[in-house]
Amino acid sequence: DTEVTQTPKHLVMGMTNKKSLKCEQHMGHRAMYWYKQKAKKPPELMFVYSYEKLSINESVPSRFSPECPNSSLLNLHLHALQPEDSALYLCASSPSGEGIYGYTFGSGTRLTVV
Amino acid sequence: DAKTTQPNSMESNEEEPVHLPCNHSTISGTDYIHWYRQLPSQGPEYVIHGLTSNVNNRMASLAIAEDRKSSTLILHRATLRDAAVYYCIQYIYGQNFVFGPGTRLSVLP
C-alpha cells in the first residue's frame, strides 16, 4: 500500500458544527502532516507529527485541533470554523521527519464552511 | 518563506521535451531539492529529488547546477497528462517543506 487515504473527499459544514477529517497511511511512515490549500495558491503547512508527537504547529487557530492516535492515523478536528477556512485540506506522510525522503500526499478533503 | 523562484507559467507542445527551471540561490550543502506536481483537484505528487548529482527516474530527470544554485526538471516527452503546477522545493535540514508559487505548465496538442 503506497497511498495516503483521506476521508471524506468533500465536506460542507456550518459555522457551529464540529467535524473531523481523517487521514490514514500504511507505509510505515513515522511523520505525518496537515496542509491547507486555498484556490490557486500553494499548500501551506499547518501541523507536523513526528513519531506520533506534535512537533510543529504553524500558528494555526485553536478551532483546528490535530490528533495522532497511532502511527498510521491522523485526524483534524474542526470546530466553530469561519467561511474563510474553506479550502482543500491535504494530508501527507514521509518515512521520517527529515526531507531527505519524499512526501506522499493524499488527494485532500475539500471543505466548505457555510 | 519559500526559498526558490520559478517562472509563473510555461507552455510546451505535446511529445516535446520540457525544461522547468528553478533558482535556489541560498542553498546550503545539506539542502535537498525536491520537485512535486499537482494536477487539478488532486494532492501534490512526488516527481523527483536530489542533493548534488543529476537524478533520473521513470517520470523525469533532475539536472542540478554545479554550484547548486539552480536546477532544472526535465520531462523528456510531454503528454497532455503532464499539464499541472510544478513545485520546486528547497528542503532545509531540520525544517519542513515550504511550497513556493510553482510553475503552471500547459501542454498543447
Q: How many residues does chain B have?
A: 109
Rg from Cα positions in chain B = 13
Q: What is the pLDDT of residue A101?
A: 83
- For residue B46, pLDDT over 70 is answered with yes
CB B6 within 8 A of CB B21: yes
Phi first, then psi, for residue A42 (nearest 5°) are -75, 160
Give A15-40 pLDDT, tens digit per residue. Answer: 999 999 999 999 999 999 999 999 99
Closest CA–CA distance from residue B13 to any residue of chain A (Å): 23
Q: What is the pLDDT of residue A88?
A: 97
Using a CB-CB cut-off of 8 Å, the residues of chain A touching B91 are 99-100
Using a CB-CB cut-off of 8 Å, the residues of chain A touching B5 are none
d(CA B34, CA A88): 22
Query: Which candidate from A33, A42, A102 shows the least CB-CB separation from B46?
Result: A102
Closest CA–CA distance from residue A98 to any residue of chain B (Å): 7
Cis check: omega of the bond before A43, within 30 degrees of 0? no
Using a CB-CB cut-off of 8 Å, the residues of chain B touching A105 are 36, 43-46
Mean pLDDT of A7-15: 96
Q: What is the pLDDT of residue A67?
A: 96
| Range in A72-81, A93-102, B12-21, B41-50 the model is least confident about | A93-102
Tell me what percent of chain B is helix, strand and coil, each rounded to the nearest 5. 5, 45, 50
Share of chain B above pLDDT 70, in %: 98
Q: What is the pLDDT of residue B68?
A: 92
How does the average pLDDT of chain A come out, rounded? 93
Q: What is the pLDDT of residue A64?
A: 96
- For residue B100, pLDDT over 90 is answered with no
Question: Residue A100 region, left (φ>0) first, then alpha (ψ -120 to 50), else beta?
Answer: alpha
Q: What is the pLDDT of residue A3?
A: 93
How does the average pLDDT of chain B come out, rounded? 92
Query: Which candidate from A100, A104, A107 shows the least CB-CB separation from B42?
Result: A107
Q: What is the pLDDT of residue B11?
A: 97
The residue type of B62 is L
Q: Which helix (H) or strand (E) holds B10?
A: strand B9-13
Q: What is the pLDDT of residue B2?
A: 65
Query: Which candidate from A56, A90, A108 shows the least CB-CB separation from B96?
Result: A56
d(CA A113, CA A63): 13
Give B53-94 pLDDT, tens digit per residue. Answer: 899 999 899 999 999 999 999 999 999 999 999 999 998 877
Confidence of residue A100 (pLDDT cuts 50, 70, 90): confident
Give the nearest chain B residue to A37 (CA atoms): B43
Tell me what percent of chain A is helix, strand and coil, each rounded to the nearest 5. 5, 55, 40
